[in-house]
Structure 1
Amino acid sequence: MTAAVLLSIRAKAISWSGGLAGALIATGMYLGGGWLGVALLGLFFVTGSMATRWERSVKEAMGVAQEAGGRRSWVNAISNGAVAGGLGLAAWATGWVEPLAFPMMAAAVSSATSDTLSSELGTLYGRRYWNILTWQQGARGADGMVSLEGTLFGVLGAVLIAVPVGWQAQSWLAGGVVAIAGIAGNWSDSLLGATLQRQDLLNNHTVNFWSTLIAALFAGLTYVVF
C-alpha cells in the first residue's frame, strides 16, 4: 500500500496530502472490506487518473480540465473516498460487517468512479448537453449538465466496480445493487450540481461527498428492503 502511494506521488497523480488521505481511506476499506476493498479503491484511482489525463490538452483548450494539472489533493481524496473509508472503519470498530457494510462501501466507490468517468470523458466526447432538471440544452461542463456519452461512461464506471463485487459474492444481485447505486449517486451529483451548487450552497467537492453518501445509503436501503 505504501509503495503504491509513493509511486502515485512520483507519477504526479496525487499530492503528498492526497497520498496521506488516500492511505487512511485505504486502511479503513481494508479493515472493513479486506483486500477487495483496497482493490476497489485502487481501481477507482487508476481509472479516474487515466480518465483525468486522457486528452488533457484538449480539455484545457475547452476549459474543462481538472485543476492542479490533474494532481489530486487531500480534498479530492476526502470528497470521493471519505464515505467508503469511514464505513470501513465503522464496520471494523463495531463488528458491523455483514450484510450491509461492504455493499455500502462498494456503492460509494462505484458512485465516485461513475461520476469521474462521466465528467472527465463526457465533457470530452459529449455532443449535446442538457440540464438534468429542465432538459434544456446548455454549455459543456456547466453544473448539472448531462450528455448521452457522459451517461454511458458513467454506467461503465459503475459496472467496473460492481463486477468484482458480484464475482466475490457469487451473486449478480450483489453486483447489480452496487452498479445501480453507483449510477444513482452519479445522477444525484448532477441534481445537486443543477440546484445547490448553482446557488453556491455547495462546491464540487461537497457535491462529490454527498453523492457518494447517497449511493451508499441507496445500497444499504436496497439490501434492507429486498
Structure 2
Amino acid sequence: MNSENDVVLKESIKMMTDMIVLCATLALSLFFWVLSLFMSSFYGTLQPVSPWRWLFSILVPLVLTVRALKRRSLDRSGALGALLVGFVLTMANFSFFSTLLAFFITSSKLTRWGAAQKRKIDVDYKEGGQRNWVQVFCNGGVPTELALLYMIEVGPGEIPIDFSKQYSASWMCLSLLGALACSTGDTWASEVGPVLSQSQPRLITTWEEVPAGTNGGVTSVGLVASFLGGATVGMAYFVTQLLMVSDLHLADPQWPIVVYGGVAGLLGSMLDSLLGAHMQYSGFDASIGKVVSYESATTRRICGKPILDNNAVNLFSSVLIAIILPGLAWGMWPR
C-alpha cells in the first residue's frame, strides 16, 4: 500500500514540477515580449518579437536539454551550455534551430550505436556521450556568435538565402550552416566509421594504415558518412525554409543548401583529420592495446604532436569552414 502511495506521490510531484516549469516559461516569455515592446518604443528600428516566439525559444530547448540530461547525452555543465546555444539559435531563426536539432539528435543516436565496438578502441569512451560545456561550446559557440550577429543585422525571423538582396545575412546563414555541418560530418565519420568500416583507417597525410582511433585516420565509409551527415543538417535547414518562408519564389533557388551542407560536412571532417594528424598526439599503448593521446614508457608514437586536444581541433575546423566556404558558395550559387 505504501509503495502505491509513493508512486502516486512521485507522479503528483512530477506533474506539479512540469506545471511550474510551464508557468515559469510562460511568465518569462511574456516578460521578454513586454521588454521588446518597451525597447521598440525607444528604438524605432527594432521590431518587437511575438510572445509565442519567446515561448518556443525558451520552452523547446529547455525540454530537449532536460531530456538529453536524463539520457546522459549531456552532463550538467553541458546542459546549461546547450540551453544557451539552443535559445539563441531558436530565437534568431527557426532554420537555425532545426539544423541544430538535426545535429544533436543524430549525433546522440550515433554515439550510442555500436557502443561495444567503440569501447574496444576508444580509451575515453563514455556511455551516451556525456558532452560537457567545453564540447558544447566548441561545436555550438561559432553558430551562437553568428546567430547573434544575424539578429543584429536583420532581427529574429526567417529569410531566404539570397546574396543579391541580403548579402551579409545570407553569408551568416551559410557560415552557421557550414559550422554545424562541419561538426555533424566529423561526428558521423567518427561514430559510423569504426562500426561499419571493414578496412583499417589510413592516415590522411601519408595514406599509411593506422590503428582504429588514430587522430587523422580516415576510411571511405567515414568520408561518405561525413557527407551524409552534413547533407542531413542541410536538408533540415532547407525543409524549414520551405515551411516558414513565404516568398521563396522571389529569391534565389534554395535547394543548393542541401549540397552545401554535404560539402561542408565532408570538407570539415577532412580538415579535422588533417589538423588531428599534425596537432594531436596519437600513440599505441601496448599495455592496454588502444590508441591514446599521451606519451608513456609503453606507448609507441603514431603521428602528431601534443599541441591541441580534440575539442580545440573541432573548434578550429568549424571556424575555418564558417569563414571560407560561404565565399566559395557565393560564386557558384545558382541564380
What TM-score, normalized by structure 2, do the two folds share? Answer: 0.63
The structure number with the bigger radius of gyration is 2
Q: Quick check: 2:96–2:237 contact (8 Å CA) kept in 1?
A: no
TM-superposed deviation, 1:147 = 0.6
Q: Quick check: 1:158–1:183 contact (8 Å CA) kept in 2?
A: yes
Q: Which has the higher contact order (CA 8 A, sep 6+)?
A: 1
Matched, 1:123 2:194: yes
Range with bigger deviation, 169-178 or 211-220: 169-178
Question: Matches of residues 36-185 of structure 1 in structure 2 within 5 Å?
Answer: 36-63=95-122, 66-67=125-126, 70-95=129-154, 98-126=169-197, 127-167=199-239, 168=241, 171-185=254-268
CA distance in 2, matches of 1:180, 1:69: 28
Which of 179, 192, 202 is the matching residue for 2:308? 202
From the superposition, tell whether residues 64 and 148 of structure 1 become closer, same or farther in structure 2 (CA, over 3 Å).
Answer: farther
Residue by residue over 1:155-186, the C-alpha shift from the partner in whole angstroms, topping out at 9 and shown as x without a partner, is 11011011233442652223222321221111
| Ranges in structure 1 where 5+ consecutive residues have no aligned partner | none
CA distance in 1, matches of 2:140, 2:123: 23
Which of 169, 180, 191 is the matching residue for 2:274? 191
TM-superposed deviation, 1:190 = 0.3
Range with bigger deviation, 73-82 or 88-97: 88-97
| SS of corresponding position for 1:98 | helix
- Hey, which of these two has a bigger chunk of helix by percent? 1
CA distance in 2, matches of 1:65, 1:52: 13
Q: Quick check: 2:142–2:318 contact (8 Å CA) kept in 1?
A: yes
| SS of corresponding position for 2:169 | coil
TM-superposed deviation, 1:65 = 5.9
For the aligned residues, what is the CA RMSD?
1.9
Residue by residue over 1:176-209, the C-alpha shift from the partner in whole angstroms, topping out at 9 and shown as x without a partner, is 2232122111110000001112211111000011
| SS of corresponding position for 1:162 | helix
TM-superposed deviation, 1:39 = 1.3
% identity of equivalent residues: 26
Which of 75, 79, 99 is the matching residue for 1:15? 75
Range with bigger deviation, 9-18 or 87-96: 87-96
Number of equivalences? 225
